[in-house]
Chain A
Amino acid sequence: DAGVIQSPRHEVTEMGQEVTLRCKPISGHNSLFWYRQTMMRGLELLIYFNNNVPIDDSGMPEDRFSAKMPNASFSTLKIQPSEPRDSAVYFCASSLGRAVEKLFFGSGTQLSVL
């Protein structure tokens, strides 16, 4: 298995632009997580899906952020409009079942908003 696949690996954009981050979880995993990592705030859970349904989106910072999981093999995290404070590494992770007992992380997307 290729593991959790995220794209793009790096994204540089200008303030106000729309950014879409993509994630393909490990086949057979039915829980998917989006985390954000910054030096100041560490790793923050943004949203958690189980069987393609959002279970906990309390970490989504504001309405500029949205996440979708149209099927079991694909998820997107969209920021519109982007702001410099959104600059961070965004990780997608997946796990088997509902329990958060062993997350498999992708390599992350390094987002820079200028």
Chain B
Amino acid sequence: SQQGEEDPQALSIQEGENATMNCSYKTSINNLQWYRQNSGRGLVHLILIRSNEREKHSGRLRVTLDTSKKSSSLLITASRAADTASYFCAKETSGSRLTFGEGTQLTVNP
């Protein structure tokens, strides 16, 4: 089964709005990563946050990690139609194993 849950499964917003996606996990992690997948393409790495970090920024992306709640969130600010894609969190656990969540399908309407 997948290591961790993501919600929502699908999110539809208007251009300019912020999009927030959440990821939870069950076992301890070394780091947590977020990836993006456009339809019919491979995944693209967006951002990594280590287990001893609480927040990280990259451009319009903000990632938070709460290890006490075993959860992370990805915030995309001022969304654009080009942000339409599926977003996956991936957890690195012991043994250098990277396990992906089920993904959130984001649709940004122009």
Q: Complex: how many Å from CA A91 to CA B44?
A: 12
Known contacts A43-B100, A45-B97, A56-B97; A101 and B48 CB within 8 A of each other: yes
Known contacts A43-B88, A56-B95, A102-B33; A4 and B100 CB within 8 A of each other: no
Interface size class of B (residues with CB under 8 A): 20 to 34
Interface residues of B in 66-104 (CB under 8 A from A): 88, 92, 95-103
Residue in A33, A35, A100, A106 whose CB lies within 8 Å of B92: A100
Asked whether, in the complex, the Cβ of B44 is within 8 Å of the Cβ of A105, the reply is yes
- The answer, yes or no, to whether A103 is at the interface (CB within 8 Å) is yes
Residue in A48, A102, A107 whose CB lies within 8 Å of B42: A107
B-chain residues with CB within 8 Å of residue A99 when the two chains form the complex = 92, 96
Interface size class of A (residues with CB under 8 A): 20 to 34
Asked whether, in the complex, the Cβ of A104 is within 8 Å of the Cβ of B88, the reply is no
A-chain residues with CB within 8 Å of residue B2 when the two chains form the complex = 41-42
Q: Complex: how many Å from CA A33 to CA B35?
A: 16
Closest chain-B Cβ to A47's Cβ sits at a distance in Å of: 11
Asked whether, in the complex, the Cβ of B98 is within 8 Å of the Cβ of A105, the reply is no
Kindly supply a per-residue 1/0 record for chain A positions 50-63, scoring 1 wherever the CB is within 8 Å of any chain B CB and 0 otherwise. Answer: 00000110000000
Interface residues of A in 85-114 (CB under 8 A from B): 91, 93, 98-108
Asked whether, in the complex, the Cβ of B41 is within 8 Å of the Cβ of A45, the reply is no
B-chain residues with CB within 8 Å of residue A4 when the two chains form the complex = 42
Residue in B41, B48, B96, B102 whose CB lies within 8 Å of A48: B96
B-chain residues with CB within 8 Å of residue A107 when the two chains form the complex = 41-42
A-chain residues with CB within 8 Å of residue B96 when the two chains form the complex = 48, 55-56, 98-100
Q: Complex: how many Å from CA A98 to CA B98?
A: 12
Question: What would 8 A/B residue contacts be, using CB atoms closer than 8 Å?
Answer: A4-B42, A41-B2, A48-B96, A56-B95, A91-B43, A93-B43, A99-B92, A104-B45
Which residues of B are in contact with A by a Cβ distance under 8 Å?
2, 31, 33, 35, 41-45, 48, 88, 92, 95-103
